[in-house]
Amino acid sequence: MDARPLLAKLTCPLIPVVVIDRLADAVPLAEALLQGGISALEITLRTPAGYDAIKAMKSAFPDAVIGAGTVCSDQAFDKAVGCGADFIVSPGATDELFGAAARHKVPFLPGAVTGSEVLKAIQHDYATLKFFPAEAAGGVSTLRALSGPFPELSFMPTGGITPDNVSTYLRLESVCVVGGSWLTPRELLIHKRWDELCQLAGDSVARVAEVSEEKST
């Protein structure tokens, strides 16, 4: 199902894209990010710990919105849903992923950057898409151009987003949330610097709060 209702409920428009190397980091990391004001996390399935990290976070923070990212096959989709993922994100979209999404009542963000990819997602009734890799695919100007023929679409840009350009993305009407790994630098994770991760999240949340306010008035 489309992710718009879920994303509209989030109190913060930032979604950290998280790579978990050690399962033991999952709960303290989620705690730090949630304390910093983040309301949804995307746990990538790029490492073997990804699935169990989702389970551990959901069990420690049942009310937090914990999604699975880098979901590239229908089996991975099924498994992530089985682990309790609240939403599913894919860097692209295939018939098998749309098929898996149709079997589950979990919000799905298919990846799309071209007109054809967008049209394919629309055919499957998706109006909220992951725009990846955002910066490499032309960033804000490509998103503006896509809004011409597709004014009803919402995007979650990820890929190359930094504290310096996040507000520019969020100011676009077509951008509902922004994702990225800048909120969880590996260096801080490796050294379990939870306070700094919490601070980084808090700083980013404060930085974008103004933009969200401007957009809602």
Residues that bind ligand 3PG (CB under 6 A): 17, 69-70, 91, 132, 158-161, 179-182
- CB 206 to ligand 3PG: min, Å: 19
Q: What are residue 65's DSSP bridge partners?
A: 40
- CB 20 to ligand 3PG: min, Å: 14
- CB 180 to ligand 3PG: min, Å: 3
In the complex with ligand 3PG, the residue whose CB is nearer, 17 or 57, is: 17
Residue 39 three-state SS: coil
Positive or negative: CA dihedral 144, 148, 150, 153: positive
177: DSSP letter? -
- CB 49 to ligand 3PG: min, Å: 16
In the complex with ligand 3PG, the residue whose CB is nearer, 50 or 179, is: 179
In the complex with ligand 3PG, the residue whose CB is nearer, 37 or 157, is: 157
In the complex with ligand 3PG, the residue whose CB is nearer, 110 or 180, is: 180
- CB 204 to ligand 3PG: min, Å: 12
Is 96 labeled as catalytic in the residue annotation?
Answer: no
User: Which DSSP string do the residues of 110-143 spell out, in sequence order?
Assistant: -B--SHHHHHHHHHTT--EEEETTTTTTTHHHHH
Is 130 labeled as catalytic in the residue annotation?
Answer: yes
In the complex with ligand 3PG, the residue whose CB is nearer, 48 or 149, is: 48
Is-contact 154 7, C-beta < 8 A? yes
Active-site residue (options: 31, 42, 117, 213): 42
Distance CA 35, CA 31 (A): 6
Distance CA 60, CA 43 (A): 15
Long-range contacts of 186-191 (CB under 8 A, 24+ apart): 186/19, 189/21, 189/25, 189/29, 190/21
Distance CA 71, CA 193 (A): 28
Active-site residue (options: 79, 96, 105, 130): 130
- Where in the sequence numbering do the catalytic residues fall? 42, 130
